[in-house]
Amino acid sequence: MPRTPFLTANWKMHKTVAEAQRFAAAFLPLVKDATAVEIAIAPPFTALSRMAEALAGSNVSLAAQNVNPEPQGAYTGEVSALMLAEVGCRYGIVGHSERRALYREDDALIARKALALLERGIRPIVCVGETLEQREAGATFEVIGAQLSGSLDGLPGERAPEIVIAYEPVWAIGTGRTATPEIAQEVHAFVRGRLAERFGAAAQAMRIQYGGSVKPENVDDLMARPDIDGALVGGASLDPEAFARIARFRA
Ligand code: PGA
């Protein structure tokens, strides 16, 4: 089943509103004819609204980096799925390893976040990935399998094609150390197998992104692998030319 490649920029805590607008002005012309792929940008919350205006009518959609699973209430500093839907988010990242590690997010919370997004029509990008210690201990598949079953718990099977998985080995994030295409493909095939157990035939339609030091120099080899359907890009997505080259990968 053909899957439209999907490239997402995860800006993390980078770019003011003015910087985000400058990025959009430089980036959009570079990808305007990249119609065979899907592209999304996840800026900080403060830039979402103005980025929605900057991206309107383009082939690039808006994504959020996080969400609170509650519909509303006394949760100082948090943002709901309805708020993200209102400003035009089409995607939302949940369970990024930085949130798992720095903010103690567990699989149950991540599953609730993904469900809250789906209920507002926003497609979740659910991140999974093992640490270096877990990989060296031979626990990669066990860790990824547990993260997948926990983070997808309770999500409605009929919405499976809207769910995106991002495999991001923690040891490759921001380190310049990319998983080889062989290592990434091996884990992606495992992920697809688990998705098939969970969602049946719909797993063939689900996109699995690779993340962890994706760059213009390595994207082509990664995207040539059968189960690598896109990329979640941090550092290299901050530069319009680099991210445009990634979005225009040659597989
Ligand atoms: P990186 O980040 O591309 O800078 O490694 C990827 C991510 O954390 O999503």
- Beta carbon of 168 within 6 Å of any ligand 1 atom: yes
Distance from residue 99's CA to the centre of ligand 1 (Å):
13
User: Is 188 a known active-site residue?
Assistant: no
pLDDT surpassing 90 at residue 174: no
- For residue 63, what are its two tokens? 């994504």
Q: Is the shortest distance between the CB of 211 and ligand 1 below 6 Å?
A: yes
Band of residue 188 on the pLDDT scale cut at 50, 70, 90 = very high
Strand pairing category for 38-42 and 89-94: unpaired
How many angstroms separate the CA atoms of 43 and 19, rounded? Answer: 10
Q: At residue 90, does pLDDT exceed 80? A: yes
Instruction: Tell whether ligand 1 has an atom less than 6 A from the beta carbon of residue 237.
Output: no
- Averaged pLDDT, 159-184: 94
Provide the pLDDT for residue 177.
83
Q: Where are the beta strands (DSSP E) in 47-167?
A: 60-64, 89-94, 123-128, 164-167
Residue 93 pairs in a beta bridge with: 125
State the catalytic residue, choosing from 38, 96, 162, 188: 96
The average confidence (pLDDT) of the chain is: 97
Task: Classify the C-alpha dihedral 244-39-230-80 as positive or negative.
Answer: positive
- Catalytic residue (one of 98, 105, 162, 168): 168
Query: What pLDDT, in 10s, does the model give residues 29-72?
Result: 999 999 999 999 999 999 999 999 999 999 999 999 999 999 99
* Ligand 1 atom nearest residue 10's Cα: 9
- Of residues 176 and 238, more confidently modeled: 238
CA 111 / ligand 1 centre spacing (Å): 21
Does 234 sit in the ligand 1 pocket, CB within 6 Å? yes
Q: pTM of the entire structure? A: 0.98
- Establish whether residue 213 lines the binding site of ligand 1, counting it when its CB lies within 6 angstroms of any ligand atom: yes
Q: Residue range 173-188: average pLDDT? A: 92
Average pLDDT for residues 227-233, to the nearest whole number?
Answer: 98
Give residue 73 CA to ligand 1 midpoint distance, Å: 32
pLDDT digit string (tens) for 96-106?
999 999 999 99
CA-proximal residue: ligand 1, atom 9 (nearest): 234
Task: Give CA torsion, residues 69, 194, 209, 54, to 10 deg.
Answer: -30
- Alpha-carbon distance of 212 to 205, in angstroms, equals 23
Position of tokens 């949760």?
75
Return the ∠ at Cα 42 (arms to 40 and 47), rounded to 5°: 120
Q: Which pLDDT value is given to residue 1?
A: 61
pLDDT tens for each residue of 137-153 = 999 999 999 999 999 99
Known catalytic residue at 96: yes
Answer for the pair 10, 232: CB distance below 8 angstroms, yes or no. yes
